[in-house]
Structure 1
Amino acid sequence: MERILADAAPAAVFDSPSPRTDGSAAGAPAPPPRPGRWGDATRVTAEDAYVIYTSGSTGTPKGIVVQHRGIANMLDECVARRAIPPGARYSTCASPGFDAAVLETWTALATGGELVVTPDDRRWHPAGFARWLADERIAHSYIPAAFLPAIAEGLRDGLDLRSMQRAIVAVEPIPRGLLGEIKRALPGLTLINGYGPTEAAVCVSMYEVGEDETGPERTPIGTAIRNTELLVEPTETETDPEAEADADEATAGDAGTAADADGDGNGDGDGGVRGELHIGGVQVGRTLRPERGDRPAFYTRTGSDGTPRPYYRTGDIVRRDREGVLTFLGRVDHMLKVRGYRVEAGDVEHALIEQPGVTQALVLKRPAPDGVYAPGAEQLIAYVIPAPGARIVLGDVHERLRERLPWYAVPHQVVVRDSFPLTAHGKTDRNALLAQTPAPAADVPPSERPDDAHIEPGLLDLWQEVLGGTGVSGGASGTGRTDGTGGTGGTEAGAAGEAEGARA
């Protein structure tokens, strides 16, 4: 609130008094002093629709001004994809501070629809939300990615969602097979995977899901909507010669993801191109306050039509295939460096989702405690959600990961959870996940030590000290085992020291 007041620089604030804990009335907060120069903030105009603040998950929250033209353009695209007759019912469950609420509200009001507010007891209850959609005969809905497994399970159990004509999903990467299952159960549904940062007018690309979608791969985010240009530009990491040299041997994942088989400097082995996504055109907003720094996120360049247009560097890494379809791979700032190697969390998550019984996966890095630098101090943690009724054997998961991934990309821990915590905007709360995950034990309980390994106890203890953990953790849902460097991971420096110690 202080940041919003500072940006708005109001002359006065009017508020109804609220009772203090002692029963007296509290007045409105005093407005901050006006800035010395109005040039520090951008004046809003009649062309501007709203100011929205970024979540701050990648830095300090900043105010973004979005124009009416971008909202109207996005609404035209929705109608072109699937027109819904007037009088249809539209759901709304997103917080007003999240731009998905703009999509929910104006897709209904701009077409003569009825906006139905999700009750609080269903808003963050995936199975309850799915039943509410059926009970209310909703025709259009924005569905958070975290709710989709409950939608699919409900359809398998006979939930009647045939009233649904159009659904837009977004926010998190979604397995193609999950959306394909929903589409096959509801062939009359136009199911769209949308993408767009807060810095643009809700959606800048869309992908229509087909009935033939299968497998654990991420669903593409599709192609640009009308009056929008999407560019895939090399990232700073990929243009740094030293980073490129490291990446040749130190990027985790498929060979097609790590290699540049077509020789374009940032390409994939399948002939596609990967890099940072830049957005241009009417969807791009602007910052409320001027950016500082040598490389602003918002900039102007000549578009494909020869006229200057605004562009925005998203910080999102995507892959564009030969047909021009984009797939979200991860964030520039979510690129992990663990054990001295660069690891792409998305590639590890893909390998996890391919495991039997795993429906969702997330990989994070647990940073070393302040002031600590030692082998194993930084750890790669994987979180998985099993399919209903599935039992995940963590030892088998680690065995398959060692077959699929380089040793340095195998997580120190695999944690089984029933669900992931969510932020107020429906995104996975990464900080909460790490805070809820205890550090691995310093030693391996005797019951989890391999019975047939015939390892000298002193040597096993030395390995555990160097590797910095027990390897896998089942939380409340499973058990783990530690059986070799591939299962627990380590560092080259630590391994070298261990070998020297073993010889001694």
Structure 2
Amino acid sequence: METLSTPTRVSELATILDDAVASYPDACAIATETDRITYRDLGDRVAALADRLREAGVGPDCTVAVHVPRSPVAIIAIHAVIATGAVVAPLDANDPPERVRTLLDQAGASHLVVHHGDPSTGEEWEQSAESIGETLALVRRDVAPTALEPGYLLFTSGSTGVPKGVLLPGRAVAHFARWAAESIGLTSADRVAAQASLTFDLSTFDLFSTAVAGATTVVFPDWLKPFPADTVDWLAQQQITALYGVPTLIKGIVAAGGRASTLPDLTTVLFAGEPYPVAALADLQTAFPEATIRNWYGPTETNVCTAYDVRQWQPGTPVPIGDAIDAVTVAIVDDELVVAGPTLLTGYVVDGVVSDPAVDVVFPDGETRRAYRTGDHVYRDDGGRLVLVGRVDRQIKRRGYRIDLDGVEAVAAESASVRAAAAVVVGLDQHLVLFVDVDPASTTALESVEHILRERLPAYSQPDRVVPCSPLPTNPRGKVDRPRLEELAAHTLTDRQENQS
């Protein structure tokens, strides 16, 4: 009887690179401004690192976190961990050390791959690391072997402020990667701008869909993101043909002069992670009149589960998320979208233990399927296409990242100076304002709150403003009056903008 720990459970994902090496050995696999790695070379480097990991005890019963800045080295490390049959858990090297330690504990990580000499590598890890290559080292953690199904572990916010791991089986990532490459006609001539954080599910396209087609993953420099005009220049210089990003990034590119005349090679634009504002989407269509433009939708738990060809969209109408991708089945239950099929997660990983949030759902065709309730309100338009309305719960999508407002509040409440906290979002750009009930006489209360937020939350979850409000307003039922706080936040935002003008 086959067990969850057999390497064959990740063979679909692991063999994507093997097939690329066999089919496109001389094609460029990874490019930076200074380096070029062919698929043959990538395959050799991955195989060598995988051998060293196996010699160090890494295998199917292990969970290996990769704490390496986004780079060719990080991509090689991820492929190598997958090749061993272990669970791979990419981490963000820019996260605070305390958050990284929390993620390691949540994942039940048995090993940690680090980059020697990088300032983001914690001192305690650097001291206990053993070399597994010229720049990489392996840290063993005192964690018992797990029975996790090998795959890809990505982290999302939890309602208590503690991140939870979403374990995607290797076959789920492989299914998405192959569908994505085929659906847009990706080829070995394409150059894909790999800009997504390795902890973000969008990065699975950059790493694996490119390999499916023998395309080039061009590593986007992190420092460029705050500078849209420089990003446009980089896209042109690198002759990028395909870009998969969040609307915030793509809107900035268009606003900075990105269009068919300045980026003639960019023929495919894909977006996901958050709704694209209607007016801005019309600008994107005008800027790239001949490009393929797709809206891909799906929470981390399903990766991409629906898709929509934006060329069919009419300005002034809601932007659909389309319909299910190949082999995926979707249904609307109590106005909520539920998803079944090969892209579903194995489960959530908390303290190294898996819990399955999926439920059995009877679909309209009469079949009962294991399905994930997305928490998103949807409806079908007159053309039968799914349209996203909003969240069932209090999680939001901002700049492509999922943020749990309850989680932000929970972290703030850990400060001894906070009596209560409430987070709201306002404005088209979803400004996150955190109201805290603190002692008005305290001169250090806000400083204490801001310190713990910096320590415990990643940059994308940080509030735009922390506002003292004592006491928090309540409604007739005694609960926090969030509509009133949204009004206060809107006034706060307006006052701030007027002061800056």
The TM-score with structure 1 as length reference comes to 0.55
Shift in Å at residue 297 of structure 1? 2.7
Question: What SS class does the counterpart of residue 192 from structure 2 fall into?
Answer: strand
| Distance (Å, rounded) in 2 between the aligned partners of 1:177 and 1:428 | 28
Residue matched to 2:336: 276
CA contact 1:232–1:278 (8 Å) conserved in 2: yes
Question: What SS class does the counterpart of residue 294 from structure 2 fall into?
Answer: strand
- Of 202, 205, 208, which aligns to 2:309? 208
Residue matched to 1:477: 497
Residue 6 and residue 314 in structure 1: after superposition, are their counterparts in 2 closer, same or farther (change >3 A)?
A: same
Residue matched to 1:272: none
- Of 181, 186, 206, which aligns to 1:84? 186
Shift in Å at residue 312 of structure 1? 0.8
Residue matched to 1:382: 426
- Of 45, 50, 61, which aligns to 2:163? 61
CA contact 2:340–2:369 (8 Å) conserved in 1: yes
| Distance (Å, rounded) in 1 between the aligned partners of 2:180 and 2:166 | 23
| Distance (Å, rounded) in 1 between the aligned partners of 2:429 and 2:423 | 20
Shift in Å at residue 73 of structure 1? 3.0
| Distance (Å, rounded) in 1 between the aligned partners of 2:185 and 2:345 | 26
Residue 16 and residue 7 in structure 1: after superposition, are their counterparts in 2 closer, same or farther (change >3 A)?
A: same
CA contact 1:126–1:146 (8 Å) conserved in 2: no
CA contact 1:180–1:209 (8 Å) conserved in 2: no
1:175 equivalent to 2:273? Answer no
Give 1:301-320 correspondences, 5 Å limit: 301=361, 309-320=369-380
1:70 equivalent to 2:172? Answer yes
Residue matched to 1:287: 347
Letter in 2 for 1:177: A
Give 1:81-160 correspondences, 5 Å limit: 81-155=183-257, 160=262
Residue matched to 1:43: 148
Letter in 2 for 1:231: A
Residue matched to 1:225: 325
Residue matched to 2:359: 299
| Distance (Å, rounded) in 1 between the aligned partners of 2:313 and 2:122 | 59
Residue matched to 2:18: none
CA contact 1:90–1:139 (8 Å) conserved in 2: yes
Question: What SS class does the counterpart of residue 115 from structure 1 fall into?
Answer: strand
Shift in Å at residue 64 of structure 1? 2.4
* Residues 409-449 of structure 1 deviation map (CA, whole Å, 9 limit, x = unaligned): xxxxxxxxxxxxxx9xxx994641242x5769xxxxxxxxx
CA contact 1:42–1:290 (8 Å) conserved in 2: no
- Of 463, 468, 472, which aligns to 1:432? 463
Letter in 2 for 1:93: Q
Shift in Å at residue 279 of structure 1? 0.9
Gaps of 5+ in 2: 1-99, 130-138, 431-453, 471-485
Shift in Å at residue 477 of structure 1? 2.9
Shift in Å at residue 60 of structure 1? 3.3
Residue 75 and residue 429 in structure 1: after superposition, are their counterparts in 2 closer, same or farther (change >3 A)?
A: closer
Residue matched to 2:141: 31
Between stretches 320-329 and 4-13, larger displacement belongs to 4-13
Shift in Å at residue 232 of structure 1? 1.6
1:325 equivalent to 2:388? Answer no
CA contact 2:267–2:290 (8 Å) conserved in 1: yes
* Residues 147-206 of structure 1 deviation map (CA, whole Å, 9 limit, x = unaligned): 222222234788512211212111121112322221222122111111111112x21111
| Distance (Å, rounded) in 2 between the aligned partners of 1:15 and 1:180 | 43
| Distance (Å, rounded) in 2 between the aligned partners of 1:55 and 1:313 | 16
Shift in Å at residue 313 of structure 1? 1.3
* Residues 1-55 of structure 1 deviation map (CA, whole Å, 9 limit, x = unaligned): 4455446656676878879999997325773453xxx7xx6432xxx44222224
Gaps of 5+ in 1: 235-274, 336-344, 350-361, 387-422, 441-466, 481-504
| Distance (Å, rounded) in 1 between the aligned partners of 2:489 and 2:282 | 38
Residue 81 and residue 286 in structure 1: after superposition, are their counterparts in 2 closer, same or farther (change >3 A)?
A: same
* Residues 214-238 of structure 1 deviation map (CA, whole Å, 9 limit, x = unaligned): 24x652222111111112222xxxx
CA contact 2:177–2:204 (8 Å) conserved in 1: no
| Distance (Å, rounded) in 2 between the aligned partners of 1:468 and 1:211 | 37
Shift in Å at residue 100 of structure 1? 0.8
The count of corresponding residues between Structure 1 and Structure 2 is: 336
Identity of aligned residues (%): 24
* Residues 446-474 of structure 1 deviation map (CA, whole Å, 9 limit, x = unaligned): xxxxxxxxxxxxxxxxxxxxx99697343
Residue 430 and residue 101 in structure 1: after superposition, are their counterparts in 2 closer, same or farther (change >3 A)?
A: closer
CA contact 1:177–1:213 (8 Å) conserved in 2: no
The TM-score with structure 2 as length reference comes to 0.55
Question: What SS class does the counterpart of residue 161 from structure 1 fall into?
Answer: coil
Which structure: larger Rg?
1
1:162 equivalent to 2:264? Answer yes
| Distance (Å, rounded) in 2 between the aligned partners of 1:24 and 1:166 | 41
Residue 57 and residue 98 in structure 1: after superposition, are their counterparts in 2 closer, same or farther (change >3 A)?
A: farther
Residue 160 and residue 2 in structure 1: after superposition, are their counterparts in 2 closer, same or farther (change >3 A)?
A: same
CA contact 2:246–2:272 (8 Å) conserved in 1: yes
Question: What SS class does the counterpart of residue 262 from structure 2 fall into?
Answer: coil
CA contact 1:84–1:165 (8 Å) conserved in 2: no
Residue matched to 1:486: none
Give 1:249-264 correspondences, 5 Å limit: none
| Distance (Å, rounded) in 1 between the aligned partners of 2:288 and 2:116 | 50
Residue 92 and residue 124 in structure 1: after superposition, are their counterparts in 2 closer, same or farther (change >3 A)?
A: farther
CA contact 2:254–2:283 (8 Å) conserved in 1: yes
Residue 212 and residue 315 in structure 1: after superposition, are their counterparts in 2 closer, same or farther (change >3 A)?
A: closer
Residue 161 and residue 24 in structure 1: after superposition, are their counterparts in 2 closer, same or farther (change >3 A)?
A: closer
| Distance (Å, rounded) in 2 between the aligned partners of 1:333 and 1:55 | 13
Question: What SS class does the counterpart of residue 26 from structure 1 fall into?
Answer: helix
| Distance (Å, rounded) in 1 between the aligned partners of 2:115 and 2:161 | 33
Shift in Å at residue 123 of structure 1? 3.5
CA contact 1:134–1:159 (8 Å) conserved in 2: no
